[in-house]
Chains A and B, each alone.
Chain A
Amino acid sequence: AQSVTQPDIHITVSEGASLELRCNYSYGATPYLFWYVQSPGQGLQLLLKYFSGDTLVQGIKGFEAEFKRSQSSFNLRKPSVHWSDAAEYFCAVGAGNNNDMRFGAGTRLTVKP
């Protein structure tokens, strides 16, 4: 079965600084990869997804992610973080045709003023 590792439990960045959140997946075939964001007390919102094609994908709120098959990674980036980006971020991997989506443990982002 597929699995996801998010090595960083908590990251703190200053407002305006760049951000990179790491995600590594394990799956034997081509994965379907997702990044979700969860604000406090809210559900999960999809930021972006990768199915195939261009390995650099653009998402909402100025986020992007790059799929690197050789490193089994799908890291999330943003060039300039805003205070409103403070939230929990989840990487997920889907496999097969049964819509079985597995999530990483999440990375909590704190933004310093």
Chain B
Amino acid sequence: DTAVSQTPKYLVTQMGNDKSIKCEQNLGHDTMYWYKQDSKKFLKIMFSYNNKELIINETVPNRFSPKSPDKAHLNLHINSLELGDSAVYFCASSQRRQGTSEAFFGQGTRLTVV
């Protein structure tokens, strides 16, 4: 059973479209994240949710909107896609406790905007 699963794994779309990436975790964790990995492999945190509450919201264009319907799901919706949005997007989860706990990552969604 996959701990953190993302769908789709690959997404090719045209500029200007709106798309969503879904993420689900079955680890019982209370914190979920979205990270963006660019072509140089740099990983940048975008959002973090704890118990469905947004706790980290980095400087990300407001075309990106996370939605957490429950603790086990964190979806990422992207409006008006641009070429620069092409990247691999990783979902992750962790259990919040004193300090920072390790995150478990999904397999990633490779988004290509053409």
A residues contacting B by CB (< 8 A) are 32, 34, 36, 38, 42-46, 49, 51, 88, 90, 94-103, 105-106, 108
| Total chain B interface residues with beta-carbon distance under 8 A | 30
DSSP majority for the A interface? strand
* Assembled-state Cα–Cα distance A43/B98 (Å): 26
Say whether A105 contacts B41, CB under 8 Å.
yes
Say whether A43 contacts B107, CB under 8 Å.
yes
User: Is B68 part of the binding interface, using a Cβ–Cβ cutoff of 8 Å?
Assistant: no
Min C-beta distance of B109 to chain A, whole Å? 10
B residues contacting A by CB (< 8 A) are 4, 31, 33, 35, 40-45, 48, 50, 55-56, 90, 92, 94, 96-108
Min C-beta distance of B31 to chain A, whole Å? 5
Which of these, A36, A96, A105, contacts B42 with CB under 8 Å?
A105
| B residues near A106, Cβ cutoff 8 Å | 41-43
